[in-house]
Amino acid sequence: MAVQSAHVLSQDELAAKLAEQPRVDLGTFPTPLDACPRLSDAVGGPPIYIKRDDLTGLALGGNKTRNLEFQIGSAVAQGCDTVVAGADTQSNQCRQASAACAKVGLDCHLVLSGGLHNEVQGNLLLDHIFGANVTVLEDTNIDDLQDRIDPIEAELQRQGRKTYRISSKFPEPALRAMCGYLSCALELSTQLPSLPQPPSTIFITSGSGTTHAGFAAGIKALGLPTKVVGISIKEPADEQRETVAARSQMLAEQLDIPCGLSPDEVYVSEDYLGAGYGAVTDEAMEAIRLTAQLEGVLLEPVYTGKTMSGLIGMARNGELPADQPVIMVHTGGIPALFAYHQEMMAAL
């Protein structure tokens, strides 16, 4: 049963819990917390800051670097020699996983579903450059992909490989991924004293739920009085709340820390999802343009563009206190811009 306690952890206590987990060094930390005054003025909102996890260093950066430090750390601790992962052809996770494997000397096998952009560009190009063994199944959608990976992993095991499967659907790698964003919450907590006052709200992309769950669990474990809002880029809000809460409860149980969230403690907006995962929205394109042209910071249309569009939309609607800072956690994904070049040019 997950920990349910009023006790909160100090920064040192949470750092000690994380230090107990297997881990390898892959990224460049801490990432900056940058002010965005021109963007704030343009949208008539509160002071906006961006936690720059697009600058984690590995393979052009992104949130998966933090997750992979613990996932690859677990693979190495278990004596694995091969990592197997799968997502769509423009997967940020697969791009960073292939780079992480190259860095520590593991073989990487990627099995990718056909998506909107299957051309060898953006993330998919980088998968090949990092030396991953890439299989693209254009007849398979992402929801059915894990079943198609099973026989491929089984064949690798028959060949004598010891595999580690990276998938948010499996408890062990999901747990390790959440540790990555516990570490981000801890890191950000050390940067908050630099702000003029505590932030009212932190915005984060909510996709598989692991990054959102790990981060929100970290904020709760540290007792920070800040609302974490996940902008859903895939699932309806009610379903996403349940997923994030369940993942945080698993994290609380496995690490024995007071970070488990109930569904009513999880904040998710589906208002900026559009037609679904990977579908371009006008609001995201506007957010990409404004952030680039006012702050020199790049976003992309699948994840961070939608997350920033949520922040901008809520600021314009008066849903955020005007005198308290807000933070967007930038989860990266910039290589996808190059695959979405036609959509981007049409929107500029």
Q: Catalytic residue numbers?
A: 91
The CA distance from 111 to 303, in Å, is: 21
Half-sphere exposure at residue 226, Cβ-oriented, CA atoms within 13 angstroms:
28
Q: Cα Rg for the chain, rounded, in angstroms?
A: 19
| Amino acid type, 159 | Q
The beta strands (E) that lie in the chain are given as 33-35, 48-51, 82-88, 107-113, 133-137, 163-166, 201-206, 227-232, 267-269, 326-329
Length of the chain: 348
91 CB-near residues (< 8 Å, 6+ apart)? 110, 112, 123
Phi-psi region of 44 (alpha: psi -120 to 50; beta: other; left: phi over 0): left
